[in-house]
A = this chain, B = another copy of it.
């Protein structure tokens, strides 16, 4: 998108900081009753009365978390919001507001930033979340997005990471590994493009996994689904760094162990076929891939009947006493200790 030299380009210098904020936020709608004052003062004013307020924040940096050579800016804006809402949903809560700060170098014209905000606005609309503040500034290099998400929940609904008990069932929403395999496809196409810029990639067979990478959908639906099912999760976390890493977080903070069954891990057929094509082990991809933004949670054994067979939920294991450790039980019935293979942003490639 940035490469199209024919399009209208408005330079950020001409517009200035205040002009940019006004331009980007002039039609910001308000969906939430709890938003009393959004953009336009020193601070937003919110009101949650008897509900608890949830706050979470994430930073996305060009060259570290995303590569603009294959990520459209509108998708990036959408995903940046999802990454943050996912943290609120992972408390079994409702997301209500976000603030968005961006730092952007002068190489981006206004139209590019408008694309980014179009994605942010779409995410807000779809998840009924209000954009209530932010900061816009110049950067010496690339693009950076910092989002803080705010949510609400009644006290008894909140699911911490620390509440899992031995014998609780371990449950994951949706399917996993797709976002990582989508990234492999995009990285490969980037290399092909470098060698032959005229090559038109056919991403059609990979559309599901590419969308999982570029436009993940945070699980807003799970809190209400569990409410309808009459299930209160004992612990919950979202899958940003990979299943294995998140399971170990739950185990550590709940002081329990875990048995995870390899054959229960939900994989989409496209993930399996892409793994074959890339010669990757699909279990390793599911355990270490990350960025799926599904939810991982535990429920008491007594809730088994309420969740079994639900197409949104897969029971993938159960919790144990802490001294039993955390293990993967393979298809061949071997017991392997789980290790965190989560993405380490300080590790050099």
Contacts and interface: CB of A to CB of B under 8 A. Distances in A.
A137 B73 CA distance: 21
Task: Report how many copies the assembly holds.
Answer: 2
B59 A146 contact: yes
Contact of A137 (B20, B65, B87, B142): B65
Given A65-B137, A146-B101, A148-B99, A55 B59 contact: no
Contacts of A56: 42-44, 99, 133
Interface residues of A, number: 74
Nearest to A139: B61
A346 B64 contact: no
Interface of A: 12-13, 15-18, 20, 36-37, 40-50, 52-59, 61-65, 87-88, 90-91, 93, 97, 99, 101-103, 106, 132-135, 137-142, 144, 146, 148-151, 158, 160-162, 236-238, 253, 342, 344-348
A61 B104 CA distance: 11
For the complex of A and B, the 5 pairs showing the least CB-CB separation, nearest first, are: A146-B146, A43-B56, A42-B90, A148-B148, A43-B54
A214 B103 CA distance: 22
B101 A59 contact: yes
A132 B53 CA distance: 12
A107 to B, nearest CB: 12
Given A42-B90, A59-B103, A59-B144, 13 more contacts: A13-B346, A42-B88, A42-B91, A43-B91, A45-B54, A48-B48, A55-B132, A55-B133, A57-B99, A57-B148, A58-B135, A65-B137, A137-B345
Given A56-B44, A99-B148, A17 B345 contact: yes
Contacts of A253: 40-41
A140 B64 contact: yes
A149 to B, nearest CB: 8
